Amino acid sequence: MTAYLNHLGLVSPLGNHYSDTITALLTGQRQLKPASELLINRPAWIGEVAGPLPNLPTEVSQFHSRNNQLLYAASLQIDAEIRQLIARFGTHRIAIVLGSSTSGIAESEMAIAAQQRGEAPQSGYSYQRHEMADPARFLAALYQLDGPAYVISTACSSSARALIAARRLLQMNLVDAVLCGGVDSLCQLTLNGFAALESVSSQPCNPFRAGRDGINIGEAAALFVMSREAAPVALVGCGASSDAYHISAPHPDGLGASAAMQAALLNANLTAQQIDYLNLHGTATKLNDAMESRAVADTFGEYLPPASSTKALTGHTLGAAGALEAAFCWLLLQKKLNPTGRLPVQTGDGDFDPSLAQLNWPQTGLTYHPKTAMSNSFAFGGNNVSLIFQTMSTV
């Protein structure tokens, strides 16, 4: 069974509309800025969604959090399509599967700070907002859906796993459509937590460059409608592994990463030579980029597909990263959205690290017209996911 990605709502540091996003993606516009001292007490750069976010409708205002506002902004872009699905299939045949790692933690941080100052928390605050399932509960309440609704939280592979789970629900005929993707918002916990691990860069991040020294953290929401209804782009392959090498460091040989890529190729019934673009996990940490470049070389051999990490533009959006980068692939694969057939170059400063396994970086101005794209998402604990998307010529 083919799982089609019919519609997409997308909010990220690159923009709040397809045209803004694809332009920024293909021209290498870094939407990173210095972090506020309210988020972190040391120099750091972040990818923040610009502009005001929509207020939640009154009937679901109890779900207020920045995380849910991001998700709501994405859902508004495909609201008409979602309501058409409800009218067609009924509320019990539509599922919600999301990935997140922060949920509404930022609101709890503010409530705790208010308590420490001897003040009452913001009116309407509930600790339930930072529970991981809250984004799914919010979306279910917003659309009055009765189907399965849950959130997967496996750190940086969360929303990539959500897409795998959505596809499985369709394959098992438990539902007719799935609202799937991911959402994560900026908060003190993740920024300071990664800083404590000495993983945060004090400058715009530089994936695969010799001078790379850590990540930038970002926020985003990407919400797909996935169904059996034919669409221009489909999720044709999924691969996952868990090498459990270390709680935070990747396996140095990239064994789990390579296993996930190979499993995705097998699941899609494709060869490595059929991948036209590889969206790298590419966090810009010393260990991740070394591991991933080796895993890509081991998986693809002499053929190296054009590959780049878009985290240099958005920052690492953590639980939303898998869905966000799947969204980038979705945009790149459609001729009407990417008529020139270009690919994102590897934005960054300085020379590429000569000690890393060589990769094939897309070149500015060249046309590639990709038809098949792979996207990697690797997480703490050795939780690895690789997804393959393909244009459907019959649609």
Report pLDDT digits (tens) over 275-306: 999 999 999 999 999 999 999 999 999 999 99
Residues shown for the chain: 395
Mean pLDDT computed over 262-287: 98
Mean pLDDT computed over 162-189: 98
Mean pLDDT computed over 146-164: 97
CA dihedral defined by 254, 294, 206, 14, rounded to 10 degrees?
A: -70
Q: What is the pLDDT of residue 248?
A: 76
What are the φ/ψ torsions at residue 383 (nearest 5 degrees)?
Answer: -95, 105
User: 180, 187, 281, 329: which one is catalytic?
Assistant: 281
User: Residue with structure tokens 């189907």?
Assistant: 147
User: 64, 251, 316, 329: which one is catalytic?
Assistant: 316
> Would you state the structure tokens that stand for residue 181, as one six-digit string?
């993707």
Is 238 a known active-site residue? no
Mean pLDDT computed over 153-181: 98
Residues 6+ apart with CB under 8 A from 52: none
Report pLDDT digits (tens) over 199-230: 999 999 999 999 999 999 999 999 999 999 99
Mean pLDDT computed over 153-179: 98
User: Residue with structure tokens 């939407």?
Assistant: 31
Report pLDDT digits (tens) over 16-31: 988 899 999 999 999 9
Mean pLDDT computed over 59-83: 98
Class of CATH domain 3-391: alpha beta
Average pLDDT over the chain reads: 96
Q: Which candidate, 332, 361, 15, 366, places its Cα nearest to that of 207? A: 361
Over the Cα atoms of the chain, what is R_g? 20
Report pLDDT digits (tens) over 289-348: 999 999 999 999 999 999 999 999 999 999 999 999 999 999 999 999 999 999 999 999
Is 316 a known active-site residue? yes
Parallel/antiparallel/unpaired status of strands 3-11 and 233-242: antiparallel
User: 156, 180, 205, 329: which one is catalytic?
Assistant: 156
pLDDT at 395 over 80: no
Q: What is the pLDDT of residue 320?
A: 98
pLDDT at 249 over 90: no
Q: Provide the residue ranges of all domains of the chain, joining segments of one domain with +.
A: 3-391
Q: What is the pLDDT of residue 219?
A: 98
- The number of beta carbons lying within 10 Å of the beta carbon of residue 211 is 13
Is 329 a known active-site residue? no
Buried residues in 82-109 as b, exposed as e (16+ CB within 10 A) = beebeeeeeeebbbbbbbbbbbbbbbbb
What single letter denotes the amino acid at residue 214?
G
SS3 255: helix
The pLDDT > 70 percentage for the chain reads 99
SS3 385: strand
- Say if CB 322 and CB 163 are below 8 A apart: yes
Residues linked to residue 34 through DSSP beta bridges, in sequence order? 45
